Amino acid sequence: MKIQPIRGTHDIFGTELKKFNFIKKIVDNSAADLGFNEIITPIFESSDLFKKPLGEHSDVVLKEMYTFQDKNDSSLTLRPEYTTPIIRAAISNNLLIKLPAKLYGLGPMFRRERPQKGRYRQFHQMNFEIFGTEDVFADAELIFLANKILDSIIPNNQFKLFINSLGDRDTLKKFKSELSSYFEQYISDISLENKEKIKTNPIRILDSKNSKDIEISKEAPNISDFYSKNSKAKFEEVKQLLNNLNIPYEIDVNLVRGLDYYCDTVFEFKNENLGSQNTLIGGGRYDGLIKVIGGADIPGVGWAGGIERLMLSVDKIKNNLSKIHLIIVEESLKEYSLRLLKDLNKNNVSVYCDYRYNLKKALSFASEQKARFAIILGQEELDQKKYTLKDLLDSSQKMLSYEELLKKINLWEILKIN
Ligand code: HAM
């Protein structure tokens, strides 16, 4: 029986895993630079955590959640995003006492979308959230953090920041109602997939990829005409802070985000070389959401980035496989070899042990793996209490004592020759 991987899932190993770990390291270091604390939450939660907060008419809730009945009949969902679980965990564990609270996490998310390049059914997100401040300093700080992480991962600044403001909750309500009336006039021309959204979620028509919808949206009401004084001032301040940080951005009035909980600042970073799934990071402010999930009425702002999409944007990764192969020529030398391995590791030398007990095959494998040195251990070496070090670049070799061997390897490590 050959069992296939589930459609839209993928195994991560080899170079791809190196890219994954490289990104994770940058995420952890950048989080520490700005005082964020890591949190890990369960992969499944009560379905209620997602339905209302993400929006009952959002694509994620309508079509993409992996929801199932548990044996006791409770409804569970594999988390499709991380913001709501982090808020739930912060409330459950009393982490919202001292504010602002800054939390981050990285882990798998699940959405039943149509798989394509950069879009999976199980994918990983890094996620940063600041709870408990209305100050748009936090919005700017989070955008700075996203920009800094992307800068360290993607060569030549191949990403672009787009921002918008959705105004406060009242603004958004008024705007949605105007938008519904506007699109209603074009009901016969709007794409089939979006007809229903005219009533339920009209702002999503603004970021439709259908050419007719795009044409109709051009004359649609503009959110900026609806801002309250306070929202307008907030958006101006965000722009001012980004200018001050020298972070370039473009204002996109059709940037509305796919989840329902946003208000005021929203933003996305895109890599325009990636094809249709080109949003690397998306986020914004979600004042009111924490209360909906059962916490205090405190504001929040954050973003999430897709690790797989970032992996597609990483150019090359340094191969840090061990460059030293330990070749054991005879099976009777196992114990002696393991002692050498232990000693070398103690001296911070990493080695790949080859125990096929065949010098020729082991040497050819070492060359294939682009190893730099082979330490060869045979009966002769054991008798003389020495080790043969073969330089795989020029094929020269020498018998050395343990001290000489270590010295040679350390010198090579220090000089980083090849
Ligand atoms: P989102 O825009 O739904 O936002 O997802 C954020 C990022 O996750 C996307 O920009 C993309 O890079 C990645 N992503 C989403 N779906 C997939 C997929 N099917 N395959 C691969 N990557 C994907 C959120 O999830 C919000 N919780 C972000 C947020 C945090 N807002 C405030 N705080």
Please tell me the predicted confidence (pLDDT) of residue 157. 80
Is any ligand 1 atom within 6 A of the Cβ of residue 197?
Answer: no
- Ligand 1 centre from 165 Cα, in Å? 18
Question: Nearest CA to 208 among 171, 198, 199, 173?
Answer: 198
- Ligand 1 centre from 408 Cα, in Å? 49
Q: Which long-range contacts (CB under 8 A, 24 or more apart) does 8-14 make?
A: 8/112, 8/113, 8/115, 8/119, 8/120, 8/121, 8/122, 9/120, 9/121, 9/122, 10/120, 10/122, 10/308
- Ligand 1 centre from 259 Cα, in Å? 10
Nearest-CA residue for atom 2 of ligand 1: 282
Q: What is the pLDDT of residues 307-352, one digit of tens each?
A: 999 999 887 665 556 789 999 999 999 999 999 999 999 998 889 9
102 CB-near residues (< 8 Å, 6+ apart): 34, 35, 36, 37, 128, 129, 130, 131
Q: Which of 79, 150, 266, 279 to mutate to test the pocket of ligand 1 (most atoms within 8 A of CB)?
A: 279
Please tell me the predicted confidence (pLDDT) of residue 418. 45
Q: What is the pLDDT of residues 221-239, one digit of tens each?
A: 999 999 999 999 999 999 9
Phi, psi dihedral angles at 393 (to 5 degrees): -80, -45
279 CB-near residues (< 8 Å, 6+ apart): 268, 269, 270, 306, 309
Is any ligand 1 atom within 6 A of the Cβ of residue 337?
Answer: no
Low-confidence ranges of the chain (pLDDT < 70): 316-321, 413-418
- Apex CA 317: angle with CA 314 and CA 318, to 5°? 160
Is any ligand 1 atom within 6 A of the Cβ of residue 208?
Answer: no
Is any ligand 1 atom within 6 A of the Cβ of residue 120?
Answer: yes
Asked whether the beta carbons of 186 and 205 are under 8 A apart, the reply is no
Is any ligand 1 atom within 6 A of the Cβ of residue 119?
Answer: yes
Nearest-CA residue for atom 20 of ligand 1: 119
Site of tokens 């080899």: 14
- Ligand 1 centre from 85 Cα, in Å? 14
Following DSSP, what letter does each residue of 194-260 receive, concatenated? Answer: HHTHHHH-GGGGGG---HHHHHHHTTS--GGGT--HHHHHHHHHHHHHHHHTT---EE-TT---SST
Please tell me the predicted confidence (pLDDT) of residue 274. 85
Residues, the chain: 418
Please tell me the predicted confidence (pLDDT) of residue 415. 60
Nearest-CA residue for atom 3 of ligand 1: 258
Nearest-CA residue for atom 1 of ligand 1: 282
**Could you give the CA distance from residue 232 to residue 212 in angstroms, rounded to a whole number?**
31
Q: Which of 16, 81, 267, 278 to mutate to test the pocket of ligand 1 (most atoms within 8 A of CB)?
A: 81
The pTM of the full predicted model, rounded to 2 decimals, is 0.88
Q: How far is CA 218 from the centre of its chain?
A: 33
- Ligand 1 centre from 391 Cα, in Å? 48
Quote the radius of gyration of the chain (alpha carbons, Å): 28
Is any ligand 1 atom within 6 A of the Cβ of residue 129?
Answer: yes
Is any ligand 1 atom within 6 A of the Cβ of residue 299?
Answer: no
Token pair for 66: 């992996």
Closest atom, ligand 1, to C-alpha of 120: 20
Question: Nearest CA to 280 among 252, 246, 312, 250?
Answer: 312
- Ligand 1 centre from 166 Cα, in Å? 18
325 CB-near residues (< 8 Å, 6+ apart): 351, 352, 353, 354, 362, 365, 366, 369, 371, 373, 374, 375
